[in-house]
Amino acid sequence: MTSQRNLIFILGDQLSPWLSSLEGADPARDVILMCEVMSEASYVRHHQLKIAFIFSAMRHFAEDLTERGFTLRYTRLDDEKNAGSFRGELKRAVEDLQPDAVIVTEPGEWRVRDDMKSWQQLIGCPVEIRADSRFLCSHAQFRTWAEGRKELTMEFFYRDMRRRTGLLMEGDTPCGGRWNYDTENRKPAEPDLLRPRRRTFPPDAITTDVLTLVADRFADHIGNLDRFGFAVTRAQAEELQAVFMADYLPQFGETQDAMLSGDPFLNHALLSFYINIGLLDPLAVCRAAEREYQEGRAPLNAVEGFIRQIIGWREYVRGVYWLKMPDYGQSNFFGNSRALPGFFWTGETQMNCLSTVIGETIDHAYAHHIQRLMVTGNFAMLAGIDPHAVHEWYLEVYADAYEWVELPNVIGMSQFADGGMLGSKPYAASGNYISKMSDYCGSCRYDVKKKTGEGACPFNALYWDFLDRNGEKLSRNRRLAQPYATWRRMSDAQRRDYRATAHRFLSRLDAGESV
């Protein structure tokens, strides 16, 4: 051990005792810096629940470190001297404490990493930026995997991750003989009155203080704080992990793609909030799920599907983000420029699927994957909304949203704005898909079976109009051969009808009329 005095800077999504910046830390000598800053709370207008969740989890983590004997320098948002930004708070701390060096774990977002380049010069003392070992695939490993590949197919990346972690492996072969059990995971949901209610945690004194602060300072941000029930400590998050494994994981697979009115969570994990800020370790979560399979409590299709989302998709989107940033954020393959409709902030639309999903988003700062992909995302792409506006909306409204995970999911997977790096075809669908996978259409003012004209489900005409207007970019895509063949087989009158219905709808949308 050296006698160097370090200032260890821990960011709001780095709340893990096993964080790389804490490796070798000496409570007797080092000081830990954490700060609530306006620049992070307002670079997009985050949902009120998201800000409250992060601040409360930060305060609880600081308390935990203090109990472990560390000296904390914790700046609250309303502290008089708060400089308002990471760089400002770091400068102030270095001036006050005069450490020998600053240690920080690399941030999740490119914009913060870019800012860090100038920190050393700003504060006049060495800044050591450590890799974030909470991810299973390092930047270098992902680059090596991606190098020379024409397509960055997630499935192949995932198989490598299975081999590397040994999860659900029997020697060199995948458990059960197959890598992927997705074909068994596409059932529509049935209402299940026996599904256990979600466990929530009533606000303690720390959270109550934070709720007052957020209500005071961020009342004009989307959402409200009435339903705050997030876990804010590692012990609470671990409790939710255990509850998920016991009560929901066995059915996770079969209802993964389903949507049901009045049941926003179905059998989803609701663990992304905690994994993304570091209260839960992704590999430990996967090992716990694997145990459920090994000990016969959960079927393979559920456990494999769950593990794939974490060691596959989660690691993969992070790899793509760091490989392609900063240009990735500007991708706009279709050249879309329409403004995001106002109802994305209120849920006030007559389209029941959108009003349900956006309403649940406002209430919980959560929607599950298929809601994000096939309802809000699908609508935005079909309607030609500017992908950057779509990206900002997702970053604002979900309590698990950090750019490294949100941006590739939005720009790549849901908007196809990267031209097909993440997916081989756009996730575009007419009302039929939503009708098959949900119960939303039954109580909608639109008729999902009606293709064009007054009262027809808008997704139907928008779907064909999307394919038509982007024909030059998409019609040679082999996976779209069938829909384009269907479009060409239609009569001229039918195609005109679809175009006219879509254009009428989009004009009303642009005019701010109720749709």
- Region of 65-73, 124-132, 396-404, 440-448 interacting with ligand FAD (CB under 6 A): 396-404
Q: How far apart are CA 421 and CA 153, in angstroms?
A: 8
Q: DSSP letters along 40-56, please?
A: HHHTTT--HHHHHHHHH
Q: How far apart are CA 417 and CA 156, in angstroms?
A: 22
Give, as ranges, the residues between 325 and 384 that touch ligand FAD (CB under 6 A).
368-369, 372-373, 377
- Region of 41-49, 166-174, 322-330, 402-410 interacting with ligand FAD (CB under 6 A): 402-410
Q: How far apart are CA 400 and CA 317, in angstroms?
A: 14
Smaller CB separation from ligand DLZ, 12 or 431 = 12
Of 203, 198, 201, the C-alpha closest to 215 is: 203
Give, as ranges, the residues between 347 and 406 that touch ligand SF4 (CB under 6 A).
351-353
Q: How far apart are CA 81 and CA 400, in angstroms?
A: 29
Smaller CB separation from ligand SF4, 306 or 379 = 379
Contact indicator for 437, 370 with CB cutoff of 8 Å:
yes
Give, as ranges, the residues between 408 and 467 that touch ligand SF4 (CB under 6 A).
431, 434-435, 440-441, 444, 446, 448, 457-459
Given ligand FAD, ligand SF4, ligand DLZ, none, residue 437, with its beta carbon under 5 to 8 Å by kind, binds none
CB of 55 to ligand DLZ, least distance (A): 7
Given ligand DLZ, ligand SF4, ligand FAD, none, residue 19, with its beta carbon under 5 to 8 Å by kind, binds none
Q: How far apart are CA 57 and CA 204, in angstroms?
A: 12
How many beta carbons lie within 10 A of that of residue 75, not counting itself? 19
Give the dihedral sign, CA 408/414/417/423.
Answer: positive
Tokens 């079909």 map to which residue? 382
- The token duo for 338 is 């329409």
Beta strands in 89-215 (DSSP E): 101-105, 127-130, 169-170, 173-174
Q: What angle do CA 316, 135, 274 make, to 5 degrees?
A: 100
Cα-to-chain-centroid distance, residue 18: 23
Given ligand FAD, ligand DLZ, ligand SF4, none, residue 299, with its beta carbon under 5 to 8 Å by kind, binds none
Q: What angle do CA 28, 33, 35 make, to 5 degrees?
A: 155
Q: How far apart are CA 179 and CA 167, in angstroms?
A: 11
Of 418, 505, 415, the C-alpha closest to 461 is: 505
Contact indicator for 451, 486 with CB cutoff of 8 Å:
no
502 binds ligand FAD (CB under 6 A): no
CB of 320 to ligand DLZ, least distance (A): 16
Q: How far apart are CA 46 and CA 180, in angstroms?
A: 35
Smaller CB separation from ligand SF4, 61 or 446 = 446
**Interface pattern 244-283 for ligand FAD (x via CB under 6 A):** ------------------------xxxxx--xx-------
Given ligand FAD, ligand SF4, ligand DLZ, none, residue 11, with its beta carbon under 5 to 8 Å by kind, binds ligand DLZ
Return residues touching ligand DLZ (CB under 6 A).
11-13, 35-37, 40-41, 46, 51, 54, 107-109, 112, 402
**Interface pattern 314-353 for ligand SF4 (x via CB under 6 A):** -------------------------------------xxx
How many beta carbons lie within 10 A of that of residue 172, not counting itself? 6
Smaller CB separation from ligand SF4, 334 or 379 = 379
Beta strands in 433-476 (DSSP E): none
Given ligand FAD, ligand DLZ, ligand SF4, none, residue 457, with its beta carbon under 5 to 8 Å by kind, binds ligand SF4
Smaller CB separation from ligand SF4, 186 or 199 = 186
Smaller CB separation from ligand FAD, 33 or 410 = 410
Q: Which residue minimizes CB distance to ligand DLZ? A: 12
Q: How far apart are CA 376 and CA 367, in angstroms?
A: 10
Given ligand FAD, ligand DLZ, ligand SF4, none, residue 241, with its beta carbon under 5 to 8 Å by kind, binds none
Given ligand FAD, ligand DLZ, ligand SF4, none, residue 269, with its beta carbon under 5 to 8 Å by kind, binds ligand FAD
How many chain residues bind ligand SF4 (CB under 6 A)? 14
* Contact footprint for ligand FAD (CB under 6 A): 268-272, 275-276, 306, 309-310, 313-314, 317, 368-369, 372-373, 377, 394, 398, 400-401, 405-406, 409-410, 413-414
